[in-house]
Amino acid sequence: MRACTAMSSRNVKGDDMSTSVEVRDRPSTAIGSLRVDGKRLWRSLMELAEIGATAKGGVRRLALTDLDRQGRDRVVGWLRDAGASIEIDGAGNVFAMRAGSNALAPPVLTGSHVDTQPSGGKFDGNYGVLAGLEVLRTLNDAGVVTEHPVAVAIWTNEEGSRFVPVMGGSGAFAGVFPLEHLLKQRDVDGVSFGEALTAIGYAGTVRTGGRELDAYFEAHIEQGPILEREDMVIGVVTGALGQRWYDCIWSGQDAHAGPTPMEARHDALLGAAKMVEAVNGVAHRHAPDGRATVGFMQVKPNSRNVIPGSVTMSIDMRHPDDDHLVTMDREIRAAASAIAVELRLECEVRQVDQFPASRFNLECVDAVRGAAKALAYPYREIVSGAGHDAIYLARVAPAAMIFVPCKDGISHNEIEDARPEHLEAGANVLLHAMLARAGVSRTAR
């Protein structure tokens, strides 16, 4: 894939109020004019954001913590109140099912995640889950019976902050890695994914994956600046950047900060510091599409007057073209070797996660575009710079995503913000894209 977020270019102002939803029994214009309740969606977002709320207006709700449990419990309660039946699989993924008229038809699924970054916002992931809830509530209010079941998923540990792999629950669901691999991953305190999942009561008994789906749609804030900058309301997401994640482990020697001469040191943190700059340089060499970040570092022994003998740091690299990722991989390894020789250190660069650049299903992308057009929202095509559960769902079902703008393009930050009318618009697009796939058998009105 060559296009990236900054290069995607199609700008269209929607102007067609027709709808592609098929009304099977009773032709009705009511379906085309069906709209979500934006105020109710906003209220739910704000109520969920109370759990793990931070002083600066953000949310800290790390995967599989007790706060995650509380957040899940609240959303599952709302989904039950909306009449959905709840299933939980072995990865802790939650599925809320709203039956359709055809019991044999595979569900049209939406969803996202409710875990957050350590200093995360109110909308990343939470919006996609609650937009799905709002779709169910809207269908209920209008008495719509779909042909296919319509379902909402809460995927476990999407953020990859507490546990690697990122998009862990959806990856296990899609068979990207075995469930057992996921369950044995450990956080920085040595707690395993499986232990944490059991502790919060979300180790379900339903088989992980192997579930036939008609389609998967995910609504999300863009987490970048393009839609806002161009005054677009909807991003029709065509694909996502490839990613590679690494642990980079520097080994030197602990020594006293005073008596040890500068030329006698084996300073692992100095190696890591030089590596941070090298990683940044790699991304700049692959501009404008390359991204590379060091966001995590563990320094040992982490004492003011000890030269650090050991450092573990993360590297996150992204690019829309997999060939570039291969080159970037070579470049960071070469940089690590050169720094290790220069500073008389050892360095291991260990890839811990990866997925290639992906493209979403053309029919599902068309369903999103068709809904945005029918609803007369200004939209453009866009490629996701962020990872999303939809990327793994796309391996087992036709999938696509809907983006809405976020303030100043800021995300993974407590100040993350989005406008209620944009969130409402994205949920309306989700509703109509899902209905286009699910078909409508009956409406009460």
What residue ranges bind ligand GLV (CB under 6 A)?
Answer: 159, 166, 386-387
In the complex with Mn ion, the residue whose CB is nearer, 214 or 228, is 228
Shortest distance, position 74 Cβ to Mn ion, whole Å: 18
Residues 159-198 that bind Mn ion (CB under 5 A): 159
Q: Is the dihedral of CA 10, 16, 17, 23 positive or negative?
A: negative
Instruction: Considering only the stretches 124-132, 242-250, 344-352, 437-445, report the one whose residues sit in contact with Mn ion under the rule CB under 5 A.
Output: 124-132
Shortest distance, position 166 Cβ to ligand GLV, whole Å: 6
Nearest alpha-carbon partner for 366 in 400, 389, 404: 400
Shortest distance, position 94 Cβ to ligand GLV, whole Å: 19
CB 72 within 8 A of CB 203: no
Give the one residue of 68, 89, 115, 124 binding Mn ion; rule: CB under 5 A: 124
* Location of structure tokens 């079902």: 397
User: C-alpha dihedral over 316, 317, 319, 325, to 10 degrees?
Assistant: -140
Shortest distance, position 17 Cβ to ligand GLV, whole Å: 35
Shortest distance, position 144 Cβ to Mn ion, whole Å: 28
In the complex with ligand GLV, the residue whose CB is nearer, 19 or 223, is 223
Q: Which partner from the list Mn ion, ligand GLV, none does 331 bind, CB cut-off 5 to 8 Å by kind?
A: none
Which residue is at the shortest CB distance from Mn ion?
A: 125
Instruction: Considering only the stretches 72-80, 117-125, 309-317, 331-339, report the one whose residues sit in contact with Mn ion under the rule CB under 5 A.
Output: 117-125
Shortest distance, position 159 Cβ to ligand GLV, whole Å: 5
Shortest distance, position 58 Cβ to Mn ion, whole Å: 12
In the complex with Mn ion, the residue whose CB is nearer, 106 or 118, is 118
In the complex with Mn ion, the residue whose CB is nearer, 136 or 390, is 390
Q: Which partner from the list Mn ion, ligand GLV, none does 232 bind, CB cut-off 5 to 8 Å by kind?
A: none
Q: Which partner from the list ligand GLV, Mn ion, none does 115 bind, CB cut-off 5 to 8 Å by kind?
A: none
Q: Over the chain, what HEC string results?
A: CCCCCCCCCCEECCCCCCCCCCECCCCCCCCCCCCCCHHHHHHHHHHHHCCCECCCCCECCCCCCHHHHHHHHHHHHHHHHCCCEEEEECCCCEEEEECCCCCCCCCEEEEEECCCCCCECCCCCHHHHHHHHHHHHHHHHCCCEECCCEEEEEECCCCCCCCCCCCHHHHHHCCCCCHHHHHCCECCCCCEHHHHHHHCCCCCCECCCCCCCCEEEEEEECCCCHHHHCCCCEEEEEEECEEEEEEEEEECCCEECCCCCHHHCCCHHHHHHHHHHHHHHHHHHCCCCCEEECCCEEEECCCCCEECCEEEEEEEEEECCHHHHHHHHHHHHHHHHHHHHHHCCEEEEEEEEEECCEECCHHHHHHHHHHHHHCCCCEEEEEECCCCHHHHHCCCCCEEEEEECCHHHCCCCCCCCCCHHHHHHHHHHHHHHHHHHHCEEECCC
Residues 373-402 that bind Mn ion (CB under 5 A): none
In the complex with ligand GLV, the residue whose CB is nearer, 63 or 397, is 63
By CB under 5 A, is residue 125 in contact with Mn ion?
Answer: yes
**In angstroms, rounded to a whole number, what is the distance separating the alpha carbons of residues 418 and 422?**
7
Shortest distance, position 367 Cβ to Mn ion, whole Å: 21
Q: Which partner from the list Mn ion, ligand GLV, none does 145 bind, CB cut-off 5 to 8 Å by kind?
A: none
Residue 354's φ and ψ, nearest 5 degrees, are -165, 150
Determine how β-strand 150-155 pairs with β-strand 145-146.
Answer: unpaired
Shortest distance, position 220 Cβ to ligand GLV, whole Å: 10
Instruction: Considering only the stretches 158-166, 231-239, 253-261, 295-303, report the one whose residues sit in contact with Mn ion under the rule CB under 5 A.
Output: 158-166
Shortest distance, position 394 Cβ to ligand GLV, whole Å: 15
In the complex with ligand GLV, the residue whose CB is nearer, 136 or 332, is 332
In the complex with ligand GLV, the residue whose CB is nearer, 228 or 416, is 416
In the complex with Mn ion, the residue whose CB is nearer, 71 or 125, is 125
Q: Which partner from the list ligand GLV, Mn ion, none does 166 bind, CB cut-off 5 to 8 Å by kind?
A: ligand GLV
Q: Which partner from the list Mn ion, ligand GLV, none does 387 bind, CB cut-off 5 to 8 Å by kind?
A: ligand GLV
Q: Which partner from the list Mn ion, ligand GLV, none does 147 bind, CB cut-off 5 to 8 Å by kind?
A: none
Nearest alpha-carbon partner for 235 in 392, 360, 389, 417: 360
Radius of gyration of the chain (CA): 23
Shortest distance, position 61 Cβ to Mn ion, whole Å: 12
In the complex with Mn ion, the residue whose CB is nearer, 315 or 440, is 315
Instruction: Considering only the stretches 48-56, 130-138, 154-162, 348-356, report the one whose residues sit in contact with Mn ion under the rule CB under 5 A.
Output: 154-162
Interface residues with Mn ion (CB under 5 A) are 124-125, 159
